Amino acid sequence: MANIAETAIVHPNVILADDVVVEDYCVIGLPFKGMQDEQTVIGEGAIIRAGSYIYAGNRIGRYFQTGNKANIREMNTIGDNVSVGTLSVIEHHVAVHDGVRIHTQVFVPEYSILEANCWLGPNVVLTNARYPKHPDVKDELKGAHIKQNAKIGANSTLLPGIKIGCDSLIGAGSVVTKNVADGVIVVGSPAQVLRDVDY
């Protein structure tokens, strides 16, 4: 049976593996506007640390963990061995593949794709709205696509729809305004290619 703190709230639409730990003041399976009985499923070995909110409709794999006060909105698919750091926010309809590490205070907006084993450092911001005040902004949202093993350095910002290639490295504090090829290091604002990654 899952280990659920007395102060935590677990809604009826939640399926937890037997050894999941839910710490104090967490809310799991939080209903959202337009909800139609979507379930939240969290796999074995997960640790949901104090103050975290996970909305309904999430499918979360094995050995997932959060830091304190992580916020995960509805209808995401999250793989095995994923970590979401303290105060990070994952919006809805995000795909997070196996082995992804999301550090403290990272923002991942709707329709982003984080492929296997990519790494997002502290305070990384992904964006998805090219024209935020446009009347059709909700119809044109496009999140970043970060490919396998890519690493995004602390305090970097990615513009909407940016693709980061496999194994590439984004230097800390960079502002990425165009797609990044596989296996390169980019730095600066706007980010420019510095050199190839050493394998």
Render pLDDT for 76-87 as a digit per residue (tens, 0 to 9). Answer: 999 999 999 999
Candidate CATH numbers 3.30.300.130, 2.160.10.10, 3.40.50.300, 2.40.50.140; the one for domain 1-93: 2.160.10.10
**What would the two tokens of residue 190 be?**
């706007």
**Does the fold of domain 95-199 match that of domain 1-93?**
yes
pLDDT for the residue 139: 83
pLDDT for the residue 136: 87
Given a cut of 80, whether residue 164 has pLDDT beyond it is yes
Q: What are the sequence ranges of the domains in the chain?
A: 1-93, 95-199
CATH class of 95-199: mainly beta
Predicted confidence (pLDDT) per residue in 110-158, tens digit: 999 999 999 999 999 999 998 888 888 888 899 999 999 999 999 999 9
pLDDT for the residue 184: 98
pLDDT for the residue 125: 98
Largest CA distance in the chain: 52
What's the predicted TM-score (pTM) here?
Answer: 0.96
